[in-house]
Amino acid sequence: MKKQIIGMMLLCGGIFFGSCEEKSKVDELKDFIEQVKDEGSHYTAKQWEEANEKFSKLLEKAENYKDLTPEELEEIARLQGEYAATAFKNQAGEAMEKAGAIINGFLDGLSGDEKEEETDESNE
């Protein structure tokens, strides 16, 4: 009976520890990029600076592994592109909104001058 219980415990322990796969060397980088994709549209300029610094550190850490497989190297390259696209989309979108506001203000200023000229001419 004791042998059966010990055998069952060993079997369960083997299954438990066998199911805990070693995390890939790029998983931390992948998780961070997913977080940025989900939350990046709400980041401030300071948060983007912090995110870029963290990305650089995680990328450096991943690239410093000596035993990366070709698949992991490919994954790192893909993740770099994904992060760059996400950062550009969110940061460029903000810049475009500011540029649009500036242009609208400029156009309003121009049309305001025309209205003043028309008002001046009608008063004469």
Tens of pLDDT, residue by residue over 72-112, are 999 999 999 999 999 998 887 666 666 666 777 767 777 76
- Burial (CB count within 10 angstroms: exposed 0-12, middle 13-18, buried 19+), residue 58: buried
pLDDT value, residue 76? 94
pLDDT value, residue 37? 93
Cβ within 8 Å of residue 4, ≥6 positions away: none
65 vs 24, higher pLDDT: 65
